[in-house]
Chain A
Amino acid sequence: MPDHLSALQLILSGDPALLAIVRLSLGVSLAAVALASAIGMPFGALLALTHFRGRAVLVVLLNAMMGLPPVVVGLALYLLLSRAGPLGELGILFTPAAMVIAQTVLIVPIIAALTRQTVEDLWVEYRDELRAMNVGAVGRMTTLLWDARFSLLTALLAGFGRAAAEVGAVMIVGGNIDGFTRTMTTTVALETSKGNLPLAMGLGAILIVIVLAINAAAWGTRVWSQRVTG
């Protein structure tokens, strides 16, 4: 990052290093949201619709895991992925793949817990109807997930927000390597440590604007599709 330029100048001039950082941040966070949804949504729905001993414990555990400290997740993954660790053979420590895994671990609980609550609330409303129609377990899950899709968008956005804002885990497993694993948040941390406070603040503002734009786009999509589907 050239020191003498302000964040605004960097954006306006389309600085390639900054654009690459923005692209990597978005890529990692979106991939993590996609993976976490693929895992968390079915899991949350399943947990909402099944009853077994210890279910309450699992629900509490899942809710608590929404508060997983990123730096602890980062450290645990670091130990796993390190060459000296059990998954060292993969050689993915200090790569974007490791960052995607870290963020996925962080947001699966958020998406699963919010999905569980949403589906459970909706189940109360749909219960009699679905039972009367003799819909099976898989059918119930898919119906409820589909009908809750607008509420679940909030779960996705909560997951994305957590992923995009996170710095502790990606710093540890990504290593903040220039041009390779440097994200918006780790850049802000780095520029702060260089005493470049105005640039760091400007980059922070850009990050907030990007997150805002994505939320606005999601909101627009929701309004649009509600109008289309009725």
Chain B
Amino acid sequence: MASRRPFLPLAMLLGIALVSSTSSAEDRSIVVASTTSTQDSGLFGYLLPMFKAKTGIDVKVIAQGTGQALDTARRGDADVVFVHAKPQEERFVADGFGVKRFDVMYNDFVLIGPKSDPAGVKGKDIATALKAIEAKGAPFVSRGDRSGTHAAELALWIIAGIDVASTKGAWYREIGQGMGAALNTASAMNAYVLSDRGTWIAFKNRGDLDIVVEGDKRLFNQYGVMLVNPEKYPSVKKELGQTFVDWLISPEGQAAIAGYKIDGQQLFFPDAARKPD
């Protein structure tokens, strides 16, 4: 009997030791609910070590779609939200869940499609391009996950005068996943897909895809940051979270964002100073 016993406590101790050794120094850390685009593009991997070096604060990023990230914060499970769907963010603040929203940076959306361009949309404006895709029934991958990019896509269909909810057929494929997964899917079935430029530049599995529409001012993509309201959730780490928000919109943080490049291309453009919200 005696010799069976040592195994369990031993394994348990080992497991707990392994787990707890990685979770020490937990005090100076915040949880940031953010989007798949900021993570998949590699921006956080570049920014956070700089922030940590300056302040000693660990930033734990939960990468979700914008809608889900705001929900996570609404439940009090994050200290800061850093997302890209301004109307949803403004509602979040108006409902008292966020303290104050700040513009941080922008990039733009691009329409990605097969190089063969079966709908013939290359170089067109975004509304014309979407109309052509719908008319031809060319495969189109939609995020379908209430993310910032999904919200932007739905708004663009409305601009194009297409009620995608009622006209969508087999050509319109909602996958309910993140930006990277949507690009993988589009790559696998040679479909059109709307992406933020940052994720596209960092994306490795392009297959036969390329940018087909870009530069339309309706493809503008604004990112905002806000502290979760400590009055709603006392567990919110107010000072540390605010330090992160302040750093992002400070000249130093803005310069850091502008400095993130892949193959010489800048992915995000700081615009915190442009107009105070």
Contacts and interface: CB of A to CB of B under 8 A. Distances in A.
Interface string A170-204: 00000111101100000000101111110000000
A110 to B, nearest CB: 16
Interface string A24-48: 1011111111110110000000000
A177 B11 contact: no
Q: Is the interface of A mostly helix, strand, loop or mixed?
A: helix
A93 B62 CA distance: 11
Nearest to A34: B12
Interface string B168-206: 000000000111110110010000000000000011111
A127 interface: no
Contacts of A29: 15
Contact of A193 (B1, B8, B178, B206): B178
Interface string B4-44: 10001101101111111011000000010000100110101
B241 to A, nearest CB: 14
B104 interface: no
Interface residues of A, number: 45
B181 A193 contact: yes
Nearest to B32: A177
Contacts of B23: 95-97, 180
A145 interface: yes
Given A83-B75, A84-B75, A176-B63, A38 B19 contact: no
B77 A94 contact: yes
B19 A97 contact: yes
B124 interface: no
B233 interface: yes
Contacts of B75: 82-85
A194 B204 contact: yes
- Chain B's interface size range is 35 or more
Contact of B62 (A31, A32, A83, A176): A176
A149 interface: yes
Looking at A38, A145, A195, the one whose CB has the most chain B CB atoms below 10 A away is A195
Interface in A78-124: 82-85, 88, 91, 93-97, 100
A175 B62 contact: yes
B60 A27 contact: no
Contacts of A146: 1, 4
Contact of B184 (A3, A176, A195): A195
A145 B203 contact: no
Contact of A83 (B17, B206, B233): B233
B12 A38 contact: yes
A88 B76 contact: yes
Interface in A119-162: 142, 145-146, 149
A88 B15 CA distance: 24
Nearest to B199: A194
B235 interface: yes
A55 interface: no
28 contacts: A24-B22, A28-B15, A29-B15, A30-B14, A31-B19, A34-B8, A34-B11, A34-B12, A37-B8, A38-B8, A82-B75, A82-B77, A84-B76, A96-B22, A175-B62, A176-B62, A176-B63, A177-B61, A178-B45, A178-B60, A190-B39, A193-B177, A193-B179, A193-B180, A194-B180, A194-B202, A195-B203, A195-B205
Give me the 5 closest cross-chain CB pairs, A-B, nearest first. A27-B18, A31-B15, A83-B76, A193-B180, A195-B205
Given A31-B16, A83-B235, 12 more contacts: A34-B8, A100-B19, A149-B4, A175-B31, A180-B60, A193-B180, A193-B184, A194-B203, A195-B187, A195-B205, A195-B206, A197-B205
Interface of B: 1, 4, 8-9, 11-12, 14-20, 22-23, 31, 36, 39-40, 42, 44-45, 58, 60-63, 74-77, 177-181, 183-184, 187, 202-206, 233, 235
